[in-house]
Amino acid sequence: MDVIGNGFRRAAYSAGTTARVGWYTMHYLAGRHVVGPITSPGNVPKPMKSSPPDLAELRDSFRDLFRREWNDIAKGTYKLPRDLRRAPNPWRLIRNGRDYLREAKMVSRRAHTRGGGVEVRANRRGDLPGYYQQNFHFQSDGWLSDDSARIYDTQVETLFTGAGDAMRRRALPYLKRELDRLAAAGRGQDEVVFADIGCGTGRLLVDVADNFPELRMHAVDLSENYLNTTRRATSFSDRIVYTQAPAERLPYADGSVDIIASVYLFHELPPKVRREVAAEFARVLRPGGLYLHLDSVQYGDTGLDILLETFPRVLHEPYYESYCNTALPDLFAPAGLAPEGQEVGFLTKTSAFRKAS
């Protein structure tokens, strides 16, 4: 074992994650101050059904996420994250922080305005499904502008106080094990097709391309703006094909993809579309192929159900409640995808599903 190298990596990881958590916690507190009360004056919030949060579990699960990540890095499962190997751009951080607080005011205004969750429908587009044309999270322009794509990562990391990327990276150990399995069967990485469906700004794909550079990778998103952001974020790789398409109608032949991943996709879909996407994933996966499903924890996964109950009340998340009540094995079984392990990393659950050989 490279003890000295691991020592340097441990120091870089600890310093980087501590700074990251501090930076986004500061944004979280500042944003709460800017937004003000959650309910409008005179409105009485509906009582919560869930018990108060277990703060000790919240704290411990947050710390455990980073402990597990470091253990994977130390074992060589994946590299020290790319962001922690490079000095941050201070001007970009300051600009993003400023824009985050400005956007927080706009989010608050929409949250207290009738119709604030569907402003984008004033310019309805016939090339996009109706469910997609919303101001999800009350964010400006929904998924449909460069400004939205540029500020999105800051919003996510602030919401999770710096844990967003680490939660996404819980997919990497599953991906590594699958690639090792395929290699043992005689298939090198350059023969394996990996598709990130609903790739957003490309945060998972950055880590996949960094750690498994020979994969034949595909980035798919319905937003041209977010897909272009992914293209810029992953410009260090020449192994990625970028495609604008809905998850329920993928432009791939039957059985042409070895591994699919989706991150925070299904809770943004209506129940009917979820079933369509599950069937579409099963269609394009090869026999024996793997699907990695990363999304919010669900009711009963942790002692933090009240956070799940609160989320759609505060932000425009029209399909989140139904997602949190959906049994994933029951969702994917009709499509022919069988569960093959899962884990909870703070507020994100990673679930693996296998298509029959």
State the average pLDDT over residues 143-161.
97
Of 272, 263, 276, nearest in space to 322 by CA: 272
Per-residue pLDDT tens over the stretch 249-298: 999 999 999 999 999 999 999 999 999 999 999 999 999 999 999 999 99
Read off the amino acid at residue 217: M
**∠ CA 26-10-1, rounded to 5°:** 165
**Residue 40 — φ and ψ, nearest 5°?**
-70, 155
CA distances from 25 to 43, 67, 115 (A): 28, 19, 30
- Confidence (pLDDT) at 48: 81
Q: CA 108 to CA 224: how far, in whole Å?
A: 26
Q: What is the residue-averaged pLDDT of the chain?
A: 94
Q: Which residues pair with 352 in a beta bridge?
A: 292
> Residue 42 pLDDT > 70, yes or no?
no
- Confidence (pLDDT) at 45: 64
State the average pLDDT over residues 15-43.
85
> Residue 38 pLDDT > 90, yes or no?
no
Of 316, 154, 120, nearest in space to 229 by CA: 154
**Which CB contacts under 8 angstroms, 24+ apart, belong to 53-58?**
53/303, 53/304, 53/306, 53/307, 54/302, 54/303, 54/304, 57/302, 57/303, 57/304, 58/304
Domain boundaries, the chain: 164-355
State the average pLDDT over residues 317-329.
98
> Residue 44 pLDDT > 70, yes or no?
no
Read off the amino acid at residue 83: D
Residue 218, SS3 per DSSP: strand
Highest mean pLDDT among 38-42, 80-84, 120-124: 80-84
- Confidence (pLDDT) at 33: 85
CA distances from 353 to 141, 209, 278 (A): 34, 22, 11
Q: CA 215 to CA 212: how far, in whole Å?
A: 6
CA atoms within a 13 Å half-sphere pointing along the CA-CB vector of 19: 12
CA atoms within a 13 Å half-sphere pointing along the CA-CB vector of 198: 21
State the average pLDDT over residues 179-191.
98
Per-residue pLDDT tens over the stretch 346-357: 999 999 999 999
- Confidence (pLDDT) at 199: 99
Encoding tokens for residue 267? 């809770």
DSSP summary character for residue 40? P
Per-residue pLDDT band for 50 (boundaries 50, 70, 90) equals confident
Domain 164-355: which topology?
Rossmann fold (3.40.50)
Q: How much of the chain exceeds pLDDT 70, in percent?
A: 96
Per-residue pLDDT tens over the stretch 65-104: 999 999 999 999 999 999 999 988 999 999 999 999 999 9
State the average pLDDT over residues 7-16.
93
Per-residue pLDDT band for 8 (boundaries 50, 70, 90) equals confident
> Under 8 Å CB-to-CB from 158, ≥6 apart: which residues?
24, 27, 28, 31, 100
The pTM of the full predicted model, rounded to 2 decimals, is 0.95
**Residue 187 — φ and ψ, nearest 5°?**
-110, 115
State the average pLDDT over residues 196-210.
99
Residue with tokens 């119709």: 115
